[in-house]
């Protein structure tokens, strides 16, 4: 038994040594500071790049049936973020802080701190992956511990983990903060085998995001961080340039955020620093005008770098992730964006990212092939997009050897969010088909994706996304198209709103077997009437099943609508017409699917 235990121990040690050997050379040096400059070895280190808040935790997982909008990012999503930053020329990502459990919320996760001094291994394993993948792309990570605002890991929320009325700067909570720092710095990465405190991928620790702490707290905590990890720099996480931070020997970097503040403030902040510390513009947004003011001031000064707010990556099931008007999607130029002048802002960031590094702007490269996801029916086609791609075209064939016919040549990933993005309506019943896709951007086209199929067509499906230009209905009465406040409706960008007695009618070239209506209510759900007709005049009500998907944890101020799926299984033969009657009160329909033969 002792020999077996010794053998297992030796295997574990050899495994860790192998991991460290494989990943030790991702970076040669820790980032260091000399006066007000950052260095990578003997080379000056400067950057223009991005905040990617969801890099290690996705707060915007808005698939229709999800009741929890929080999830852990997949490796596809992390890679897409890294590739986008790399293509723009960025060498740094500032992620957001850790998520801390709020006392009165259900224990749904994922959270980094699930209770007092209790850390979720699954969440931290994603951070392990983030660091490992960042090393592959030559990207350094800024990691804030907590935050001042009440979003993810507020200092007040952190203090409440003690299950009492503790002040964040009390001795007890300071010790909890020290416990957190010690846990993270001493954590051994499950992918690379490297302890975080020895990982050169980390640019610096940030005491938090917009923390607003006292000078005494800052001095005590930064001294402790340096005692645990002497390799990494420390950035003051307070909002603005403070004298206490400039005089603190354990602080290396100070920063400020520029939203309402004028970009002229950058020059004043740098003058105030007087070469005592390195300086980073930690956040700015959300306009082209502000971007064109910030970037030249960073490049033409002693500033070490800047990160714009914010980049959002592609979603695991197709399309992009979205966040309340604050996210940009590389390369810009899509049919839909959350920020005005998105494409121009991204071009300005890219120009600045290469200029600040003393490099010529390289040409854009053609995209890699997209990943066409499994297709269970021609009406439910999605793909994982290619980083840097702008449009796609999809082809269909009765055989994997061809011939291939293009069925859509201008597919855009931003038209539909968090659900199937394309419906092939030109198929024949009882036939099998194969599909493949290509990605395109200004530099050219990708190779073909892997072929998916065979896909057997057992029925036709009419899909109405309520896009005004893509009329699928036969008749509307009282309803109206809307695209306002998509964040309240799971980023459903095109909806049909109506109230009591309003009607949508459809005509199908066959007998209807099932109707599915994806709808939203501002309050409690009401029953929808789904009626079927064989002669377009006499409509008979069908039995309708109602399934609600209430959010398990949201901020009431967001006023998120309740998602409800209505399903009607049709038993009448030769019924080709469908009438949907809106209930009393207000309802918005986001998608309608009608199966027929």
Give the pLDDT band (50/70/90) at residue 7: very low
Residue 255 dihedral angles phi and psi, to the nearest 5° = -150, 170
Return the pLDDT at 53.
Answer: 98
Give the pLDDT band (50/70/90) at residue 9: very low
For all residues of the chain together, what is the average pLDDT?
Answer: 94
* Cα separation, 3 vs 568, whole angstroms: 65
Question: How many CA atoms are closer than 13 Å to the CA of 124, on its beta-carbon side?
Answer: 20
Return the pLDDT at 557.
Answer: 75
* Cα separation, 418 vs 63, whole angstroms: 5
| pLDDT at 5 exceeding the cut of 70 | no
Domain with CATH 2.60.40.10 in the chain: 371-458
Could you tell me where the beta strands, DSSP code E, fall in 259-366? 278-284, 305-309
pLDDT, one tens digit per residue, over 15-47 is 444 444 445 558 999 999 999 999 999 999 999
Beta strands 562-569 and 512-521 are: antiparallel
Q: Which of 289-303, 448-462, 565-579 has the lowest mean pLDDT?
A: 565-579
Beta strands 587-596 and 495-498 are: antiparallel
Give the pLDDT band (50/70/90) at residue 176: very high
pLDDT, one tens digit per residue, over 456-501 is 999 999 999 999 988 888 889 999 999 999 999 999 999 999 999 9
* Cα separation, 590 vs 563, whole angstroms: 9
Q: Is the peptide bond before 168 cis (omega within 30 degrees of 0)?
A: no
Return the pLDDT at 239.
Answer: 85
Domain with CATH 2.60.120.260 in the chain: 475-596
* Interval 296-311 mean pLDDT: 98
- Is the C-alpha dihedral spanning 28, 31, 33, 34 positive or negative? positive
Return the pLDDT at 25.
Answer: 52
**Paired residues of 533 in beta bridges:** 539, 577
Give the pLDDT band (50/70/90) at residue 4: low
User: In sequence order, what are the residues at sequence separation of 6 or more whose Cβ sits closer than 8 angstroms to the Cβ of residue 21?
Assistant: none
pTM of the model: 0.94
Judged on CB neighbours under 10 Å (0-12, 13-18, 19+), 538 is exposed
CATH topology of domain 46-355: TIM Barrel (3.20.20)
3-state secondary structure 371-388: EECCCCCCCCECEECCCC
CA-nearest of 279, 203, 271, 196 to 245 is 279
Give the pLDDT band (50/70/90) at residue 106: confident
Which helix (H) or strand (E) is 335 found in, with range? none
The CATH number fitting domain 475-596, selected from 2.40.160.100, 2.60.120.260, 3.40.50.300, 1.10.10.10: 2.60.120.260
Return the pLDDT at 56.
Answer: 98
Give the pLDDT band (50/70/90) at residue 552: confident
pLDDT, one tens digit per residue, over 54-100 is 999 999 999 999 999 999 999 999 999 999 999 999 999 999 999 99
Return the pLDDT at 394.
Answer: 98
- Is the C-alpha dihedral spanning 443, 88, 342, 493 positive or negative? positive
Return the pLDDT at 380.
Answer: 98
Give the pLDDT band (50/70/90) at residue 107: confident
CATH number of 371-458: 2.60.40.10
DSSP state of 474: S
pLDDT, one tens digit per residue, over 218-253 is 999 999 999 999 999 999 999 899 999 999 999 999
* Cα separation, 492 vs 398, whole angstroms: 33
DSSP state of 314: B
Q: Are 256 and 239 in contact (CB under 8 A)?
A: yes
Q: What distances in angstroms separate CA 51 from CA 81, 94, 96, 484, one per listed residue?
A: 10, 5, 8, 27
Domain with CATH 3.20.20.80 in the chain: 46-355
* Interval 295-300 mean pLDDT: 98
* Cα separation, 329 vs 318, whole angstroms: 13
* Cα separation, 313 vs 358, whole angstroms: 27
590 three-state secondary structure: strand
Taking the mean position of all CA atoms in its chain, how far away is CA 517? 27
| pLDDT at 12 exceeding the cut of 50 | no
Return the pLDDT at 18.
Answer: 45
* Cα separation, 166 vs 158, whole angstroms: 10
Judged on CB neighbours under 10 Å (0-12, 13-18, 19+), 246 is middle
pLDDT, one tens digit per residue, over 359-403 is 999 999 999 999 999 999 999 999 999 999 999 999 999 999 999
């Amino acid at each position: 038994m002792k020999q077996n235990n010794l053998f297992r121990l030796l295997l574990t040690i050899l495994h860790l040594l192998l991991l460290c050997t494989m990943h030790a050379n991702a970076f040669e040096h820790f980032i260091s500071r000399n006066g007000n400059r950052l260095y990578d070895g003997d080379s000056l280190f400067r950057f223009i790049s991005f905040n990617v808040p969801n890099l290690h935790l996705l707060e915007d997982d808005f698939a229709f049936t999800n009741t929890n909008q929080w999830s852990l990012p997949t490796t596809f999503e992390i890679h897409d973020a890294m590739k986008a930053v790399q293509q723009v020329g960025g060498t740094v990502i500032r992620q957001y802080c850790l998520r801390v459990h709020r006392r009165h919320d259900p224990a749904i996760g994922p959270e980094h701190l699930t209770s007092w001094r209790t850390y979720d291994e699954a969440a931290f394993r994603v951070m392990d992956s983030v660091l490992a993948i960042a090393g592959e792309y030559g990207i350094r990570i800024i990691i804030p511990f907590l935050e001042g605002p009440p979003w993810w890991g507020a200092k007040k929320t952190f203090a409440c983990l003690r299950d009492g009325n503790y002040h964040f700067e009390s001795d007890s909570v300071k010790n909890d903060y020290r416990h957190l720092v010690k846990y993270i710095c001493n954590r051994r990465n499950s992918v690379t085998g490297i302890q975080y405190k020895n990982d050169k991928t980390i640019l610096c620790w940030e005491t938090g995001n917009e923390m607003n702490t006292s000078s005494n707290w800052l001095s005590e905590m930064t001294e402790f961080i340096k005692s645990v990890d002497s390799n990494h720099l420390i950035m003051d996480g307070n909002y603005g340039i403070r004298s206490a931070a400039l005089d603190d020997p354990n602080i290396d970097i100070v920063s400020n955020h520029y939203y309402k503040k004028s970009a002229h403030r950058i020059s004043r902040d740098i003058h105030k620093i007087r070469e005592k510390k390195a300086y980073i513009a930690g956040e700015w947004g959300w306009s082209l005008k502000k971007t064109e003011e910030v970037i030249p001031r960073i490049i033409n000064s002693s500033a070490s770098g800047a990160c714009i707010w914010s980049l959002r990556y592609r979603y695991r099931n197709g399309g992009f992730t979205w966040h309340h008007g604050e996210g940009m999607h590389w390369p810009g130029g899509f049919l839909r964006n959350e920020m005005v002048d998105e494409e121009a802002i991204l071009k300005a960031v890219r120009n600045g990212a290469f200029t600040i590094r003393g490099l010529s702007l390289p040409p854009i490269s053609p995209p890699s092939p997209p990943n066409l996801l499994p297709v269970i029916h021609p009406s439910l086609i999605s793909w994982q997009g290619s980083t840097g791609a702008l449009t796609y075209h999809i082809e269909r064939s009765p055989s994997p050897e061809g011939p291939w016919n293009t069925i859509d040549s201008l597919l855009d990933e931003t038209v539909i969010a968090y659900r199937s993005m394309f419906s092939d309506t030109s198929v024949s019943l009882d036939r099998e088909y194969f599909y493949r896709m290509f990605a395109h951007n200004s530099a050219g086209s990708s190779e073909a994706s892997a072929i998916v199929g065979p896909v057997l067509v057992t029925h036709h499906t009419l899909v109405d996304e309520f896009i005004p230009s893509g009329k699928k209905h036969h008749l509307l009465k009282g309803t109206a198209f809307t695209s306002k406040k998509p964040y309240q409706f799971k980023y459903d960008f095109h909806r049909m709103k109506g109230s009591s007695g309003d009607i949508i009618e459809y005509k199908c070239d066959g007998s209807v077997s099932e109707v599915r209506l994806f709808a939203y209510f501002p309050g409690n759900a009401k029953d929808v009437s789904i009626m079927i007709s064989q002669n377009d005049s006499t409509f008979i009500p069908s039995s309708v099943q109602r399934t609600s998907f209430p959010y398990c944890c949201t901020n009431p101020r967001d006023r998120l609508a309740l998602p409800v799926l209505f399903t009607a299984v049709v038993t009448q033969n030769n019924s080709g017409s469908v009438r949907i009657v809106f209930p009393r009160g207000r309802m918005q329909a986001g998608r309608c699917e009608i199966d027929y033969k």
